[in-house]
Amino acid sequence: MKLLLTVLVFLPLFVWAQDSTYTLQGRIQDEQARPIPGATILLLKHTKVLQGVVADSTGHFELHRLAKETYQVQVTALGYESYTSSSFSLNRNPWNLSVIKLQPSKNTDLKEVKITGKRPLIEHDLDKTIVNVENLLSSATSHVLETLEKVPGITVETDGTIRLNGMSSVTVLMDGKPTYLSGRDLADYLRSLPASSLDRLELMTNPSTKYDAAGSALLNIKRKKERLQGLNGSLSTNYSQGWESRTNQSISLQYTQQKLRLSGLLSHSKDGNQTREQVDRTFTEASGQSKAFVNLMNRSWLSGHSLTGKLEIEYAFTKKTSLSLELDYTHAPKREGLSYLSKRFAPELDSTGRGSIDAHSQRNNRGLTLHLQREFDRKGQEWTVDLTHWSYSNRSTQFLQNQSYAPHEVLITDQRFRYDLPSSLLISTAKTDFTRPFASGGTLEAGLKWSYVTNDLDSRYYQRVDNELIPNYRQSNHFVYEESIRSAYINARKNGKRWQAQAGLRLEQTWLKGEQRENPEVPQTSFSRQYTNVFPSIFLSYKLDSTGTRSLTLSASRRINRPNYHQLNPFLFYLDNYTYTSGNPQLLPAYPQQFELKYQHNTIWGLSVQYNQFRNIIFQTTQAVGDVFITRPGNIANGRLLSLSAYASYNPFPIWTFTASGGFVHLAILPTEVYGQALDARLLTGRINVTNQLKLGKTWRAECTMSYTGPSINGQRRSQSLYRINAGIQKSLWSNKGSINLMVEDWLRSWVQREQTGSLGGATEFRTSRTDTRRIGLAFAYRFGKQTRNRSYSDAAQEEKGRVN
């Protein structure tokens, strides 16, 4: 396996090193000197097409491995007149064409435009990395959470925690809007969305002040939005099989006619998963001699359905004013189960435990968003207002039972009980932004935002006594959390001939209150906090040559990692006879300070060094109380993180695209104590992701992706390395309007979680978890409608810019 990874990483670099050919590069712009991303560039020799490429987000393109001969280039873009250059000969490397400016098409209502170019898998902007999910064949048979696990730099832990380049405090946005979800709630929501509906992912390790200050990094999940004239749509279906089966069917429709645009999405999915887990715990005397062992065998499963609908209505009152209304709805019933077998040795077998959990839940999400956009006579000057209200509700019932036996199967205890767990999350936000460009090349942004969140979790515990359910108020809990954040920001950007500068300041005032409501046996308790913080950020970018081929970017920012709602709930939740979890109302926010230096050579390769310094970092802590492990979050200590990241994208041959990314991370937590035990959390780890894509003729594509994630650390818990291989093939149908995909994921079944928990004071835990990752899937997709664009109101009807807070 290591040899295979080595060959795949270094073979293209060796081919590159032996290459003595030429590179052609240039930039595509419109009449106002604005870049035209997605323009198709064809290299011609005596009218014969030799190569083709698509311009990136800045309008830049490159063609490689060219002989020293005479060529022409032909450029086409939707809504613009075709351009063909005069002949030129290559006599230096690289050869830079002057900026190519396209003229608007005289006939913008084309009968049909065939788009043959493809965006690269990974693109890089000043403050973000863009992953074009549509270029991953495996996304056709996956839901969104599975797709995130395959994206370079992202890892998803078993509890739903999303990490980006080693950072665990990642804020997830959907179409620029925060989800306000975390952990299992966020994982369940992302499982209900088909990955085939995604357009791209935006990864921001050092976001600007235009975005909320929460999170060390931002992940913005952008769904597809068509801007084509008339009626267009797509439908897709997929099926995959592992231990459990999964299916998804979706249809999307868009209708655009002059000032009006209607779009809708309806999706149904069936989800299934299994987890097989083995836990071994060792308890020792002060002398180090073992005194007891506990072995746990857990098997959990889930089976659920989800129905997701989205409707968007957009109307352009004038060429400069538009209003859009977006409605979202998700209905997701689910059933989950857990069975466990525990054995305790001291040192001989002295007790056995058996238990199970059977849970039923109904989750409903409803969202309403209003977006008003007003443009002015000055190009690029605009004012937007966004109003959002989201409602998440979940009604869950859990039936639990556990029995304990003495040796020879003598029953000691038999407990049966039930949890009723109704919960609701209400989110209201209001936001306004103003952007004003200046003739000198600068831009000023400013905005205000208000948000209010209420989370209500009511845990009602009933114990069965003589076949009757009796309320147990000591085990019940009703926790209500409220949070309000008011913020204002200002951000300035200046573009020079070879440099760019951006600086901003964000002010946030936070008020929160948590209340554990009383019942007949538990008194009411509450806590509240209020604090105000300032969050600056700065970006400096310099082009190292006149063509902008090579650039250097320096950025710095201050962020905040707030505890999520569940982490503040003090209630003790039962998992099995030996495992409990709890929140911690004493948690404080963590404040990371982040610095990054990045070198970029167009879309070919780049390097970045990032340094994070934080205090009050939030980690999961585990306390051993007798034989029972209680896990709760805590502010561990102060620390720092240093990472080196690299990426490379290369076409060794016209049919082969090679993309690799990876890096090293050094995490150091300053020496501290957890429950009286010394904790020295230091780790040097790495990761690598290699994607090979092949064009097999005009209608066939193949893909192979290899991922490796090194060891990781979360407080007292250390995880071993993981790796897997995915492969797939795609056949295009009916002039690229349809496609059929066959995928095999984790075909070695090597994605196995292995963890060790230490610093427990006389106890150690080893945990091995296997989930349903080895799968084979088949997907079909079809697009229909005329592929023509309405340009009359294209500016007023453009996608929302920035974040809807």
Per-residue pLDDT at 339 exceeds 90: yes
Q: Please check whether residue 558 is in contact with residue 591, taking contact to mean a CB–CB distance below 8 angstroms.
A: yes
Grouping H, G, I as helix, E, B as strand and the rest as coil, residue 134 is: helix
Grouping H, G, I as helix, E, B as strand and the rest as coil, residue 140 is: helix
Question: Mean pLDDT in the chain?
Answer: 83
Residue range 2-101 forms a domain whose CATH class is: mainly beta
Q: What is the pTM of this model?
A: 0.76
Q: 126 pLDDT band (50/70/90 cuts)?
A: low
CB neighbours of residue 23 within 10 Å: 18
Encode pLDDT of 97-123 as tens digits: 878 988 887 654 444 444 444 566 777
Q: Please check whether residue 591 is in contact with residue 557, taking contact to mean a CB–CB distance below 8 angstroms.
A: no
State the pLDDT at residue 159.
Answer: 62
Per-residue pLDDT at 572 exceeds 70: yes
State the pLDDT at residue 192.
Answer: 72
Distance CA(273)–CA(747), nearest Å, equals 17
Distance CA(773)–CA(249), nearest Å, equals 21
- Of the two residues 698 and 793, the one the predictor is more confident about is 698
Q: 500 pLDDT band (50/70/90 cuts)?
A: confident
State the pLDDT at residue 168.
Answer: 66
Q: 229 pLDDT band (50/70/90 cuts)?
A: low
Our measurement of the distance from residue 143's CA atom to the centroid of its chain's CA atoms, rounded to an integer in Å, reads 12
Mean pLDDT of all residues in 664-670: 85
Per-residue pLDDT at 9 exceeds 50: no
Pairing of strands 100-101, 22-29: parallel
Q: 53 pLDDT band (50/70/90 cuts)?
A: confident
State the pLDDT at residue 275.
Answer: 93
What percentage of residues in the chain have a pLDDT greater than 90? 34
State the pLDDT at residue 519.
Answer: 87
Separation in Å, CA 494 to CA 211, 322, 497, 498, 542: 19, 28, 10, 11, 12
- Of the two residues 679 and 774, the one the predictor is more confident about is 774
| In the chain, ranges of CATH 2.60.40.10 domains | 2-101
State the pLDDT at residue 508.
Answer: 96
Distance CA(529)–CA(589), nearest Å, equals 11
Query: 401 CB contacts (<8 Å, ≥6 apart)?
Result: 355, 356, 414, 415, 416, 417
| In the chain, ranges of CATH 2.40.170.20 domains | 122-274+293-440+449-789
State the pLDDT at residue 786.
Answer: 63
Encode pLDDT of 267-286 as tens digits: 999 989 999 999 999 988 87
Per-residue pLDDT at 6 exceeds 50: no
Q: Match domain 122-274+293-440+449-789 to its CATH number in 1.20.120.790, 3.90.700.10, 1.10.3470.10, 2.40.170.20.
A: 2.40.170.20
Token pair 């604005």 is found at 34
Q: Report CA Rg, the chain.
A: 28
